[in-house]
Amino acid sequence: MATSVTGGSKDAPTNPRGIPYAPFVDKVEDYVTSRTEVEATLKSFQEMISKYQFMEVNTQRRAAGLKDKIPDIQKTLDTVRFLKTRKPGSEPTETTFELNDTLFAKALVPPTEEVYLWLGANVMLAYPIPEAEQLLDAKLSTAKLSLTNCEEDLDFLREQITTLEVATARVYNWDVAQRRKERAEHGGSITGGKPASPNG
Amino acid sequence: MASTQGQQIELTSLTAQQLTQLKKQLDTELEHLTTSFQSLRTAQSKFRDCLKSISTGLNAKTADKPLLVPLTSSLYVPGTLASSTHVLVDVGTGFFIEKSTADASDFYTRKIGDLGESLKDLEQIVQGKASNLRVVEDVLRQKVVGASQES
């Protein structure tokens, strides 16, 4: 007799980020003993599906934000590395920077030991160049890791939602089959021999 | 009894269904025009901003003051202004033109003026469409009331 562990579920009850697995309904009788429980079960399945969908939307939003940030962090890291290379006593670099949407101005940037990083939330800190490079590197790898996690979570969530939908379909079919059986028995016992044909 | 200015169609000759369709069409057109109006407005205010930046940031005083130069969206480096007389203006399609501050201010003022003109024209059209819409709505309401009274 198959228990609930078949393709799609692993042994741990939650995935690495704490999202619980959806129960895999192999035998409907394990979950539903009588027709009265069917509606409650279906409702609980629907609830679980909507919870997963909510989590899916959140994860998608997070993944999109990360996807935006990563090229920015990469660019900043590359610029810091470039600044590191031309440090020792060379002439100032001339650069054009953005004053406004369509307006740029020229500036002279002398070689400097420190850079200023905008950390968000109205916070800007000055860092010596090696520390800045370390910080940006760490930020970039964390962001990339979070992005892979998010994508993994999204796949996992979609799997669980499908599992639950299959379970709902199974329970519903089982219910229909039971109803048909009951009607057949009922019709047989009352009319005694007259074939009851359920019109489905 | 009411006829629109541009089309000269007798509105009362149209059925209620056609009138609803016409109203929906006018509605969408009005929405598009209003959004375009707003984007033109935003563009105009951005150019005004540029104008202000030129006048406040690029004068003889700021030329030697230490400055935090943005290199990326979160990276700033201390530096100084290389030139307080020339700026680069993005004129679209990937072209950047170096202009003196006076020319740049002139350029932005002209852009603001052009946009102002377009905004005024657009405003006229929007008002025309809005009044057409109101007329159509009135006729439609009368038709509906008339139809319900008959039946």
Rounded to an integer, the average pLDDT of B130-146 is: 87
Tell which of B53, B74, B86 to mutate to test the A interface (max A CBs under 10 Å). B74
CA distance B89 to chain A (A): 5
φ, ψ for residue A126, nearest 5 deg = -95, 135
DSSP secondary structure letter of residue A37? H
Q: Quick one: how far is CA B70 from the chain centroid? A: 30
Provide residues of A within 8 Å CB-CB of chain B. Answer: 72-73, 75-76, 79-80, 83, 92, 94-110, 112, 114-120, 124
CA distance A102 to chain B (A): 5
Rounded to an integer, the average pLDDT of B75-91 is: 84
Q: Which residues of B touch A101 (CB under 8 A)?
A: 46, 49-50, 90
Asked whether the beta carbons of residue A117 and residue B79 sit closer than 8 angstroms, the reply is no
Instruction: With beta carbons less than 8 A apart as the criterion, state whether A60 and A52 touch.
Output: no
CA angle B107, B108, B113 (to 5 degrees): 100
Provide the whole-model pTM. Answer: 0.66
Least confident of A8-12, A59-63, A115-119, B138-142: A8-12
Could you give the 3-state DSSP secondary structure of residue A115?
strand
* A69, closest residue in chain B (CA to CA): B73
pLDDT of the residue at A5: 34
pLDDT per residue as tens digits for the range A27-75: 777 777 777 778 888 888 899 899 999 999 999 999 999 999 999 999 9
CA distance A152 to chain B (A): 29
Q: Say whether residue B19 is in contact with chain A using an 8 A CB cutoff.
A: no
Cα(A37)–Cα(A155) distance, integer angstroms: 31
| Closest to B85 in 3D by CA, of B59, B62, B50 | B59
- The secondary element (H helix, E strand) that includes residue B138 is helix B101-150
Cα(B84)–Cα(B61) distance, integer angstroms: 9
| Closest to A172 in 3D by CA, of A6, A46, A54 | A46
CB within 8 A of B41, min separation 6: which ones? B119
Instruction: Give how far Cα B108 sits from Cα of A11, A103, B118, Å.
Output: 66, 10, 15
Please give the residue that has the higher pLDDT: either B98 or A90. B98
DSSP secondary structure letter of residue B62? G
Rounded to an integer, the average pLDDT of A99-128 is: 86
Cα(A185)–Cα(A167) distance, integer angstroms: 27
| Residues in a beta bridge with A125 | A117
pLDDT of the residue at B27: 92
CB within 8 A of B111, min separation 6: which ones? B47
Asked whether the beta carbons of residue B88 and residue A105 sit closer than 8 angstroms, the reply is yes
Task: Write down the ipTM of this complex.
Answer: 0.70
Tokens of A199: 């019109």
Of B78, B83, B89, the CB nearest to A103: B89
CA angle A19, A22, A25 (to 5 degrees): 170
Residue whose entry in the numeric block shows the structure tokens 């057109």: B29
Torsional sign, CA A145, A150, A153, A155: negative
φ, ψ for residue B14, nearest 5 deg = -85, 150
pLDDT of the residue at B123: 93
* A96, closest residue in chain B (CA to CA): B88
Cα(A87)–Cα(A132) distance, integer angstroms: 14
Rounded to an integer, the average pLDDT of A110-118 is: 85
Cα(B18)–Cα(B25) distance, integer angstroms: 10
Cα(A150)–Cα(A144) distance, integer angstroms: 10
Cα(B92)–Cα(B114) distance, integer angstroms: 16
